[in-house]
């Protein structure tokens, strides 16, 4: 399905076509590192990406979220020309997609690997060469990175002789060697040991400070909350929530309450309450829409002794589950 | 092009530097040399020392003629140079005219005691029945019994002819065997002998077959390895699937060419003495220039054709085991080409040979064979090359489509309908 030219030309992106909520005005197009316009990808009868509109501002950290099989990897693959969309357009750095723009992109796929029998330095030089670096330049940069990540003494070993953690470091270096303006990482934290996860996070923050655009896809919400400026939540190939993370969370309001108390307040049957999670030390309550937290406090205080009562923003995980659930309900309706 | 070159360089250097390449390149000529040299060496070692043979005959003249004949190099099975040197001391002949049974028993004891190698019962009675007995402990030595049979037949003929009054040189002239040499006619000139042409053709075809097979499989395994190490998606962020495929096929092919060149150089250096020795019974070993060019062309085309198929198979599967089950579409035509070789060698001009050599999958083997053993008309060669190029083009584009989709697919092997859909995907 194509949108009429006039609407597109006005810069209006109809993300709200179904149940999608946008939380930021359409940004200036020239400042977009990636822009997907109605991108569609179908494998036989299975729609992997369903007319998706995404804009990623330059210099932002963008999270592509969604359950497994939502279409995250398919979307990323179309951004960097591994596959072509059946419909719609991909724009990179304000221009229509062209392979020569790939030298400005560093991509670390979820399925990552290296030639096991190649020497580390040779391998990095190879990948640098494929991103149009000269051999000498690739070698210098590789050595610098290896020193920074403390694997400089292993550069003449074969990849298979390195520990898994060191191989992961080599993989990061390979992604960042050509100093890309846009870094795309598909599930970057999966399979990382804790030390490397911290190191990767630090590297990403440095990149952000240097003005690079970072896109990563994940289903681990805690990392998104800490790192991302903006998110796009996709399910069944459709964007169901897109925009600035802070605004999204604010719009959900403070409808969560944490109660620290002695004993169980038994709030399940209270007509103010949507759901209750009893964690033992405290109880977390989601209020029904429009319910007043003060009334809940009074109800709870009647039943147990309360030591703490706090209103909270919902976690991204809850928003995620809420949105995916709603989406599925509306889909089946 | 820059990317393809980088990939070719990697593929080539990684392979040529690998230990297995070096070992294989060195071991293969050693095996080849071994096949030629070891039997000859063993043969020389096994002949042992002098053979003491007693010829028991009523007619001492006949016996001594047979004895001389045993020492005559022409009855030897070995090449003449070796035969001459050996014959003089190989046999020590004693003629015995005592044809009694007692003498037979005594000689039998001597054989058992190892005093003599054996005795030949060449009595008049035996000659009348055309059946002669040689008693020895080494009854299984076929070479020796053939030498003996030749010597006895020729010796008796020689004796009888001279008895009829024929002079020595006349007898020689009658008894010299005729040697048949089949010569190939090349552009009206007389060329190499039939045996040499056949051996040349056979060697070239087998070399082509084995190198195409080895490097076709190398392409397949390399694709599987890239799939299983999950490097492909990393590479695909900067190169296209087509560039990857081209880099792989060209890189591996260059390794194959390198190996052939190394082997040819080896062969030239080490087989020169062997060739000199072989000359006496093979005639001139002679590889005409057109055959060399044909070999190079058909190797390249054959390699492209089969490696495209192997690359596609590699992209479809996930493990070597799966590949084993899937590689028959590439393996069967190649093996069939070798199987059909015999039919083409026997009737290189037949309609069947023509049609078979036009099939692009058999052409690398059968057309090469025809070019080496006869000279097919130019139009046939050109038609064959045209058909091959068209097939290679088709196969490469088919393979690159399968490859493009297959390298990103992990898990289950595709079914045929799925494969058909892969070919239709946009990209």
Distance from CA of A58 to the nearest CA of B (A): 20
Q: What is the pLDDT of residues A13-67, one digit of tens each?
A: 444 444 555 555 555 555 889 999 999 988 877 888 999 999 999 999 999 988 8
Q: For the purposes of burial, counting CB atoms within 10 Å of the CB of A330, is it exposed (0-12), middle (13-18) or buried (19 or more)?
A: exposed
CB atoms within 10 A of CB A198: 11
- Residue by residue, DSSP assigns A148-211 as HTT-GGGTTSBGGGS-HHHHHHHHHHHHHTT--SEEEEESTTTT--HHHHHHHHHHHHHHHHTT
Residue among B310, B284, B303, B295 nearest B205 (CA): B295
The pLDDT confidence band at residue A12, using thresholds 50, 70 and 90, is very low
Q: What are phi and psi of B413, to 5 degrees?
A: -75, 140
Q: What is the pLDDT of residues A204-216, one digit of tens each?
A: 899 999 999 999 8
Q: What are phi and psi of A270, to 5 degrees?
A: -65, 135
Pairwise CB contact (< 8 Å): A118 & B14 = yes
> Do B159 and B229 share a structural domain?
no
Distance from CA of A316 to the nearest CA of B (A): 30
Q: What is the mean pLDDT of residues A152-162?
A: 92
Interface of B with A (CB under 8 A): 2-3, 6-7, 10, 14, 18, 226, 229-231, 233-240, 408, 410, 421, 425-427
> Do B241 and B164 share a structural domain?
no
> Do B236 and B317 share a structural domain?
yes
Low-confidence ranges of chain B (pLDDT < 70): 32-33, 35-37, 39-49, 72-90, 139-143, 181-196, 270-288, 411-412, 425-427
The CATH number that applies at residue B163 is 3.40.190
Residues 10-69 in A contacting B (C-alpha not used; CB under 8 Å): 43-44
> Do B391 and B272 share a structural domain?
yes
> How many beta-carbon pairs below 8 A join chains A and B?
67
Pairwise CB contact (< 8 Å): B410 & A126 = no
Check if the beta carbon of residue B256 is closer than 8 Å to that of residue B215.
Answer: yes
Residue among B338, B378, B64, B388 nearest B208 (CA): B338
The pTM score is: 0.71
Q: In the block, which residue shows the tokens 């395994």?
A: B221
> Do B420 and B296 share a structural domain?
yes
Q: Is A117 on the interface with B (CB under 8 A)?
A: yes
The pLDDT confidence band at residue A4, using thresholds 50, 70 and 90, is very low
> Do B102 and B169 share a structural domain?
yes
> Do B206 and B106 share a structural domain?
no
> Do B377 and B299 share a structural domain?
yes
Residue B251: list chain A partners with CB under 8 A.
none
In terms of DSSP bridges, do strands A238-244 and A21-22 run parallel, antiparallel, or are they unpaired? parallel
Residue B68 lies in domain:
50-175
CA distance A131 to A178: 7
The pLDDT confidence band at residue A176, using thresholds 50, 70 and 90, is very high
Distance from CA of B216 to the nearest CA of A (A): 20
> Do B375 and B286 share a structural domain?
yes
Q: Where are the alpha helices (DSSP H) in B47-79?
A: 60-71
The pLDDT confidence band at residue A5, using thresholds 50, 70 and 90, is very low
Pairwise CB contact (< 8 Å): A84 & B427 = yes
Q: What is the pLDDT of residues A258-317, one digit of tens each?
A: 888 887 778 877 888 888 888 887 888 888 877 788 888 888 888 888 888 888 877 777
> Do B159 and B275 share a structural domain?
no
Pairwise CB contact (< 8 Å): B234 & A83 = no
Q: Is A164 on the interface with B (CB under 8 A)?
A: no
> Do B416 and B303 share a structural domain?
yes
A230 Cβ neighbours under 8 A, 6+ residues apart: A24, A56, A57, A60, A61, A62, A63, A242, A243, A244, A245
Residue A17 confidence (pLDDT): 45
Query: What is the count of structural domains for chain B?
Result: 2
Pairwise CB contact (< 8 Å): B410 & A111 = yes
> Do B231 and B121 share a structural domain?
no
CATH of domain A254-312: 3.30.70
Structure tokens at B34: 């071994």
Residue B126 confidence (pLDDT): 81
∠ Cα A100 A103 A109 (to 5°): 115
Residue A298's H or E segment, with its range, is helix A293-303
CA-nearest residue to B226 within chain A is A115
Residue A137 confidence (pLDDT): 94
């Amino acid at each position: 399905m194509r949108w009429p030219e006039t609407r597109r030309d006005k810069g209006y992106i109809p993300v709200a076509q179904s149940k999608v909520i946008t939380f930021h005005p359409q940004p200036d197009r020239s400042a977009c590192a990636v822009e997907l316009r109605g991108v569609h990808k179908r494998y036989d009868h299975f729609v992997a990406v369903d007319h998706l509109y995404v804009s990623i501002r330059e210099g932002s950290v963008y999270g592509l979220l969604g359950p497994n099989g939502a279409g995250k990897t398919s979307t990323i693959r179309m951004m960097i020309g591994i596959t072509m969309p059946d419909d719609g357009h991909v724009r990179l750095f304000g221009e229509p997609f062209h392979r020569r723009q790939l030298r400005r992109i560093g991509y670390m796929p979820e399925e990552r690997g290296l030639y096991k029998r190649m020497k580390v330095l040779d391998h990095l030089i190879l990948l640098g060469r494929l991103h149009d670096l000269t051999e000498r330049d690739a070698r210098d940069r590789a050595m610098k990175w290896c020193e920074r990540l403390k694997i400089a003494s292993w550069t003449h070993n074969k990849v298979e002789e390195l520990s898994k953690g060191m191989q992961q470091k080599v993989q990061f270096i390979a992604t960042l060697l050509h100093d890309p303006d846009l870094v795309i990482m598909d599930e970057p934290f999966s399979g990382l040991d804790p030390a490397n996860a911290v190191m990767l996070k630090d590297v990403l923050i440095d990149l952000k400070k240097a003005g690079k655009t970072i896109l990563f896809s994940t289903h681990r919400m805690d990392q998104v909350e800490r790192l991302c400026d903006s998110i796009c939540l996709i399910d069944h190939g459709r964007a169901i929530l897109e925009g600035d993370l802070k605004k999204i969370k604010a719009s959900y309001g403070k409808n969560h309450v944490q109660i620290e108390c002695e004993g169980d307040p038994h709030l399940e049957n209270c007509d103010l309450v949507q759901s209750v999670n009893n964690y033992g030390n405290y109880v977390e309550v989601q209020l029904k829409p429009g319910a007043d937290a003060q009334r809940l406090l009074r109800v709870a205080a009647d039943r147990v002794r309360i030591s703490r009562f706090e209103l909270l923003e919902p976690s991204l995980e809850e928003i995620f589950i809420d949105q995916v659930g709603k989406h599925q309900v509306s889909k089946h309706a | 092009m820059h990317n393809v070159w980088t990939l070719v360089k990697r593929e080539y250097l990684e392979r040529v530097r690998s230990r297995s390449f070096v070992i294989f390149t060195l071991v293969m000529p050693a095996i080849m040399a071994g096949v030629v040299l070891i039997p000859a060496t063993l043969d020389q070692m096994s002949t042992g020392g002098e053979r003491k043979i007693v010829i028991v005959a009523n007619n001492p003249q006949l016996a001594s003629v047979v004895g001389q004949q045993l020492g005559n190099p022409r009855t030897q099975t070995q090449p003449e140079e070796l035969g001459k040197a050996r014959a003089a001391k190989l046999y020590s002949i004693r003629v015995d005219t005592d044809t009694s049974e007692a003498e037979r028993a005594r000689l039998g004891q001597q054989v058992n005691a190892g005093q003599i190698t054996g005795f030949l019962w060449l009595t008049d009675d035996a000659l009348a029945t055309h059946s002669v007995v040689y008693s020895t402990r080494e009854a299984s030595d076929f070479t020796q019994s053939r030498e003996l049979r030749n010597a006895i037949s020729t010796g008796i003929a020689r004796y009888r002819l001279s008895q009829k009054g024929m002079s020595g040189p006349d007898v020689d002239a009658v008894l010299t065997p005729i040697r048949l040499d089949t010569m190939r006619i090349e552009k009206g000139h007389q060329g190499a002998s039939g045996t040499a042409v056949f051996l040349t053709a056979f060697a070239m075809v087998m070399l082509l077959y084995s190198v195409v097979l080895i490097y076709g499989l190398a392409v397949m395994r390399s694709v599987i390895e890239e799939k299983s190490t999950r490097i492909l998606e990393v590479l695909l962020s900067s190169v296209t699937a087509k560039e990857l495929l081209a880099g792989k096929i060209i890189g591996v092919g260059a390794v194959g060419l390198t190996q052939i060149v190394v082997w040819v150089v080896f062969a030239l250096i080490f087989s020169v003495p062997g060739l000199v020795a072989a000359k006496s019974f093979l005639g001139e070993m002679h590889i005409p220039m057109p055959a060399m060019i044909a070999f190079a062309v058909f190797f390249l085309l054959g390699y492209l054709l089969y490696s495209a198929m192997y690359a596609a198979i590699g992209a479809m599967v996930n493990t070597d085991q799966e590949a084993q089950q899937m590689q028959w579409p590439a393996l069967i035509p190649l093996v069939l080409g070798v199987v059909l070789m015999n039919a083409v060698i026997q009737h290189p001009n037949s309609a069947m040979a023509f049609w078979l050599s036009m099939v692009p999958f058999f052409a690398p083997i059968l057309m090469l064979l025809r070019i080496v053993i006869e000279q097919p008309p130019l139009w046939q060669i050109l038609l064959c090359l045209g058909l091959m190029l068209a097939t290679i083009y088709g196969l490469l584009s088919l393979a690159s489509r399968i490859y493009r989709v297959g390298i990103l697919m992990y898990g289950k092997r595709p079914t045929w309908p799925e494969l058909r859909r892969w070919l239709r995907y946009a990209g």
